[in-house]
Structure 1
Amino acid sequence: MEPILLDIPIQLETERLILRAPHPTGDGKIVNKAIRDSHRELKEWLPFAQEIPAVEETEKNLRLAHINFLKRDSFRYLIFAKEHNEFVGVASLQSIDWDIPKCEIGYWIDTTFSGNGYMTEAVQELVDLGLQTIGFRRIEIRCESTNWKSRAIPEKLGFLLEGTLRNDDLSADGSRLTDTCFYSIIR
């Protein structure tokens, strides 16, 4: 498999959502606003959210995500609700190993939209993309064992909990050891 030759869609559509790759410029403001609005909740689980980033930092991160999409290193999608065209969150196919081939899915949501099933719908679309279109043999989701909202997504989508890795990682703020739940789905 030659990844650079794969035709990966830059936009996906579900019943309620549009998922699109970051534009080369200009997405930083909307994503940064969601990080600011959800900072308290994101900070608990995500190292990047320990401090509220400047809009320029978010823009830089998204431009790099755009480049990584083109290089086939990772596939980040910004999620928008069709009904009101508002930014909902981010979901990515990342940590890609083309030799297997396999990847991991990562995600976060603007907490304004939490509890509506948007992220489960978006992750299901990425699972379909990964297994059916790209041809991954394995997709993983890893999350902290006490992050019940994050764990609910792979459990709803039929992922297998392969195990819990004890004292596997540091908490998002680096202050304590945490356990990591390891989910997978295979083709």
Structure 2
Amino acid sequence: MLIHKIDDEVSLRLFNVGDAEEFFNLIISSKPYLKEWLGWLDYVEKVEDTVETIKSRLQSLVEAGGCPKSVAIIYRGEIAGTIGFNEINNASKIGRIGYWLGEGFQGKGIMTKALKAFIDYGFRELGLNRIEVSIAVENKRSRALAERQGFIEEGRLRQAEWLYDHYVDHIIYAKLAEEWE
């Protein structure tokens, strides 16, 4: 999956170091919006931080035997966000997916398309048996997206994540290979 064209507007592709400034600008411009649900944003202060993130993602590509764990979501030629497997347990064939879009890209159906394509990639290319997503209880849009993609709510993790000044509970969703397509 070097480039995966979903339709005329949306595609998924590997990040490259040349994306650092555009990715940084997307993060910074969406920071107030994204901080409601993402706890790592204060660690992004300069373009070099995104360079290191991209290098780490490329290194994980090597470690995963050439299978990307995370990619850029491209909308009409611009980086709109990212989607990837935050964790993959190869022994149990379980992947935990994470995703986000910049504020200006919300409400266009981009993430619906990207998530469907990444689920297909996880089951078809990576041979996963189970894909999980952990979402803050109050993140209703992200939860609705997972539910529309056929993920089943399996439980609640109390105080699962520290977000700057408070803990949030998460709902664990999962989709099994036998439930796919």
TM-score normalised by length of structure 2: 0.90
User: Aligned residue for 1:96?
Assistant: 88
User: Aligned residue for 2:168?
Assistant: 178
Q: 1:45 offset after TM fit, Å?
A: 1.3
1:61 to 42, 53, 59: 53
Deviations 1:23-55 (Å, cap 9, x if unpaired)? 2x2111010010011010111211211354200
Q: 1:156 offset after TM fit, Å?
A: 1.0
1:76 to 70, 74, 82: 70
Task: Give the SS at the match of 2:156.
Answer: strand
Deviations 1:80-122 (Å, cap 9, x if unpaired)? 11xx311111000221000011111101101101011101110
Task: Give the SS at the match of 1:50.
Answer: helix
Q: Taking every aligned residue pair, what percent have the same amino acid on both sides?
A: 27
Q: 1:129 offset after TM fit, Å?
A: 0.4
Coordinate RMSD, CA, aligned: 1.5
Task: Note if contact 1:89-1:110 (Cα within 8 Å) is conserved in structure 2.
Answer: yes
Q: Which amino acid aligns with 1:184?
A: A
**Where does the alignment leave 5 or more consecutive residues of structure 1 unmatched?**
1-8
Task: Note if contact 1:39-1:52 (Cα within 8 Å) is conserved in structure 2.
Answer: no
Aligned pairs for 1:145-184 within 5 A = 145-170=137-162, 172-173=163-164, 175-184=165-174
In 2, Cα distance between equivalents of 1:70 and 1:156: 33
Q: Which amino acid aligns with 2:169?
A: D
Task: Note if contact 1:18-1:79 (Cα within 8 Å) is conserved in structure 2.
Answer: yes
Is 1:19 paired with 2:9? no
1:35 to 9, 27, 37: 27
Stretches (4+) displaced over 6 A:
none
